[in-house]
């Protein structure tokens, strides 16, 4: 990760077609907080346009780029480009809403984080030191993608950056807290994964019992709180009751 | 009482699909939906359903289903032999695909292997009744979402159908139209969004190549085998959104085309994107079939999409205007 020199102004993002019904907006070619903040600011503006603009169908933010989907028979490529340009102008200097903050309980190591010890050994840390480094930052949800509700977090301690496993695991549980490359993530559904599994949250970040099934959104802040296996069981059992859904510690101010 | 369908033989991969789940890609949920939406729409029009009604998508192999409780209007959009087994007073009988039929309660319908294409659609009067998830009946097996418990059909499953208002239209698609779904022409693409990750000579190689559709292809993506495309700046990019039809070039250089159940984001450079009008046709290409690409400007691609929709809508309108509707008094006229 390279930080931009402070004096460099934000370059104009590149807008390129991805087929006949998607425009891709690419910001700087790096994973960092500033670039992602630009992506999310534009996503925020375009999301409000989505509700008012006929033919606009999706706004999908990622680390450093954003895809805008549309029906080209209802709105042309030129009109969408104009809308993006206007939204970019409107972003300049506009304050972003204060993000939601989630305090996510995680049971590290043991059965819930089978790679913790190996990862600690690799980085020549005690498991407790690794946990301390993983729980220290306030992370930002840079994007939700790959699978329903899967949250990619930015802000991992560079000391914990770890190449992915040579052999992906065929099965990892929902709620896995993982490290892969320079990223850490909260998995939402069970599935195969090549990331290192260091812990698990009892929270369900994709829960179809709720009208809004997704817990995390791009832009949210996430902090991890270590819990023991008993607390995990207790909280997991609580989650069986749809009424006890996790709440953010800080809500978005309107 | 609405008819129900009991699955006697599920086939290779049979799922409930409608026209897909829009609006959740930013939450990691791909659209899913029928891989050949035009075929689904015409199957629905044949039985008098709305275009988005849920139907069964069969893959390569057909299957066998028994109608329970009430008569049921059906139509199969796909090129396969269909027949009804002899039961009780009912003689065995062959049925024509691309045409509506009234099946009496108790009838067992066998759909043979697809003779052309990869995917066939069985529409039933009133649609397949499943609880919509995030606004759609479509199945996403990878996330166990939608359809019947988020999975492919299994032997013994019983599916409900919606209210068909006891309409049994008698409709058929003109024989000259059925081949249209399997046109063997170059597949239109728009270059990009990451063609600058490939040297001009590599883009030329890609555009001039004939690829072969690999058998590992599925609803998530189609794998091609043929000339490997070399990257100019390595095979990894920072994970970014994946549009329908994105042609990703992973490390080994063999193209991978993102389809309906794609992951919403990914980290391989995308040399080009298949145009909307040609995605259904691509979804009908069989393993081993040859694929060539034709580069287009976005404006040309949009025109082809308009032509595609016009073709489907014209036939839908013709089917719905059928003056015979809604008479279908005999079981097997």
Specify if A251 maps to a domain: no
**Per-residue pLDDT, A252:** 63
Q: Do B28 and A191 touch (CB under 8 A)?
A: no
pLDDT for A175-221, tens place per residue? 999 998 888 999 999 988 889 999 999 999 999 999 889 999 999 99
Residues of B with Cβ-Cβ distance to A189 under 8 angstroms: 143-144
Topology given in CATH for the domain delimited by B183-296: Cyclophilin (2.40.100)
Of A65, A91, A117, which residue is a domain's last?
A91
> Lowest mean pLDDT: which of A181-185, B145-149, B228-232, B304-308?
A181-185
pTM of the model: 0.92
- Which CATH number fits the domain that encloses residue A138? 2.40.100.10
From B265's Cα to the closest Cα of chain A, the distance in A is: 5
Residues of chain B positioned with their CB less than 8 A from the CB of A149: 27-28
Q: What is the pLDDT of residue B104?
A: 93
Q: Which residues of A, range 80-139, sit inside 8 Å of B by Cβ?
A: none
Q: Are residues A65 and A168 in the same domain?
A: no
pLDDT at B330: 36
Q: Looking at the partner chain, which of B22, B239, B245 has a beta carbon nearest the beta carbon of A19?
A: B245
On chain A, the residues whose CB falls within 8 A of the CB of B299 are: 77
pLDDT band at B328 (very low <50, low <70, confident <90, very high): very low
What are B182-192's pLDDT values in tens digits? 999 999 999 99
- Between the two ends of chain A, the Cα-to-Cα distance in Å is 33
Higher model confidence: residue A164 or residue B195?
A: B195
- B263 vs A18: CB contact, 8 Å cut-off? no
Q: Are residues A112 and A187 in the same domain?
A: yes
Q: How far is B329 from chain A (nearest CA, A)?
A: 41
A106 and A39 within one domain: no
pLDDT band at residue A11, thresholds of 50, 70 and 90? low
Position A10 scores a pLDDT of 55
Task: Please determine, for residue A96, whether its predicted confidence score (pLDDT) is greater than 60.
Answer: yes
Domain count, chain A: 2
Residue A46 lies in a domain: yes
pLDDT at B322: 61
Residue A41, in any domain of the structure: yes
Residue among A195, A198, A188 at smallest CA distance from A167 = A195
ipTM, two decimals, is 0.93
Distance from CA of B8 to the nearest CA of A (A): 30
pLDDT band, residue B194 (cuts 50/70/90) = very high
The reported pLDDT for the residue numbered B123 is 98
Task: Give the domain CATH number at A48.
Answer: 3.30.1360.40
Q: Are B15 and B56 in contact (CB under 8 A)?
A: yes
The domain boundary, picked from A71, A91, A111, lies at A91
Calculate mean pLDDT across residues A138-159.
Answer: 94
Paired residues of B266 in beta bridges? B240
Select the residue of B140, B142, B275 nearest A20 (Cβ to Cβ).
Answer: B275
Residue A87, helix vs strand vs coil: helix
- Residue A2 within any structural domain of the chain: no
Whole-number average pLDDT of chain A: 91
Asked if A152 and A30 sit in the same domain, the reply is no
Q: Is B58:B11 a contact under the CB 8 Å cutoff?
A: yes
Pick A18's closest partner by Cβ from B238, B246, B263: B246
- Check CB contact of A44 with chain B, cutoff 8 Å: no
At residue B63 the predicted structure's pLDDT band, cuts being 50, 70 and 90, is very high
Which of A72, A91, A110 is a domain's end point?
A: A91
B233 at the A interface (CB within 8 A)? no
- Find the domain containing A174 and state its range: 101-244
Residue B237 pLDDT class (50, 70, 90 cuts): confident
| pLDDT of B333 higher than 70 | no
Could you tell me where in chain B the CATH 2.40.100.10 domains are found? Answer: 183-296
Predicted local confidence at residue B329, as pLDDT: 35
Q: For A217-240, what is the mean pLDDT?
A: 96
Within chain A, residue ranges assigned H as helices are: 33-52, 77-91, 116-122, 127-135, 229-238
Least confident of A91-95, A120-124, B64-68, B121-125: A91-95
- Residue of B153, B155, B136 whose CA lies nearest to B145: B136
User: A33 vs A201, which has greater pLDDT?
Assistant: A201
């Amino acid at each position: 990760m390279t930080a931009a020199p402070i004096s460099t102004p934000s370059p104009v993002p590149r807008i390129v077609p991805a087929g006949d019904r998607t425009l891709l907006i690419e910001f700087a070619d790096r994973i960092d907080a500033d670039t992602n903040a630009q992506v999310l600011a534009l996503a925020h503006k375009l999301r409000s346009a989505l509700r008012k603009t006929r033919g606009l169908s999706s706004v999908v933010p990622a680390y450093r780029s954003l895809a805008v989907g549309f029906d080209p028979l209802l709105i042309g490529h030129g009109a969408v480009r104009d809308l993006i340009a206007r939204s970019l102008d409107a972003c300049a200097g506009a304050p972003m809403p204060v993000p939601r903050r989630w305090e996510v309980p995680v049971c590290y190591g043991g059965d819930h984080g089978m790679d913790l010890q190996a990862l600690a050994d690799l980085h020549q840390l005690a498991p407790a030191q690794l946990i301390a480094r993983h729980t220290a930052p306030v992370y930002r949800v840079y994007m939700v993608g790959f699978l329903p509700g899967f949250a990619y977090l930015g802000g991992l301690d560079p000391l914990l950056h770890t190449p992915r496993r040579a052999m992906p695991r065929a099965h990892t549980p929902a709620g896995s807290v993982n490290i892969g490359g320079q990223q850490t993530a909260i998995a939402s559904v069970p599935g195969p994964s090549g990331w290192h599994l260091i812990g698990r949250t009892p929270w369900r970040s994709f829960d179809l019992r709720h009208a809004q099934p997704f817990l995390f959104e791009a832009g949210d802040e996430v902090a991890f709180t270590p819990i023991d296996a008993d607390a995990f069981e207790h909280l997991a059992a609580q989650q069986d009751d749809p009424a006890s859904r996790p709440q953010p510690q800080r809500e978005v101010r309107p | 009482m609405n008819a129900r369908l009991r699955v006697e033989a599920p086939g290779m991969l049979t799922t409930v699909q409608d026209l897909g789940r829009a609006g959740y890609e930013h939450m990691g949920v791909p659209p899913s939906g029928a891989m050949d939406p035009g075929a689904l729409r015409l199957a629905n029009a044949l039985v008098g359903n709305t275009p988005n009604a849920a139907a069964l998508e069969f893959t390569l192999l057909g299957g066998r289903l028994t109608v329970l409780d009430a008569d049921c209007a059906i139509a199969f959009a796909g090129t396969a032999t269909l027949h009804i087994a002899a039961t009780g007073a009912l003689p065995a009988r062959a049925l024509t695909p691309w045409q509506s039929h009234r099946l009496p309660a108790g009838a067992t319908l066998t759909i043979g292997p697809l003779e052309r294409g990869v995917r066939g659609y069985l529409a039933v009067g009133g649609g397949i009744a499943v609880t919509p998830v995030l606004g759609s009946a479509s199945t996403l097996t990878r996330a166990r979402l939608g359809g019947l418990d988020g999975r492919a059909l299994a032997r013994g499953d019983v599916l409900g159908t919606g209210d068909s208002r006891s309409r049994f239209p008698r409709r058929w698609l003109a024989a000259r139209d059925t081949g249209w779904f399997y046109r063997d022409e170059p597949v239109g693409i728009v270059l990009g969004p990451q063609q600058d990750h490939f040297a001009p000579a590599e883009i030329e190689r890609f555009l001039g190549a004939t690829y072969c559709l690999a058998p590992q292809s599925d609803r998530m993506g189609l794998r091609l085998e043929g000339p490997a495309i070399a990257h100019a700046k390595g095979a990894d990019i920072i994970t970014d959104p994946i549009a329908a039809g994105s042609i990703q070039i992973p490390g080994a250089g063999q193209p991978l085309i993102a389809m309906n159940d794609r992951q919403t984001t990914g980290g391989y450079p995308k040399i080009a994107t298949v145009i909307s009008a040609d995605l259904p046709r691509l979804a009908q290409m069989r393993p081993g079939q040859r694929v060539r690409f034709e580069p287009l400007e976005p404006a040309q691609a949009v025109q082809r999409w308009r032509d595609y929709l016009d073709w489907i809508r014209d036939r839908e309108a013709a089917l719905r205007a059928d003056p015979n509707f809604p008479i279908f008094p005999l079981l097997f006229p």
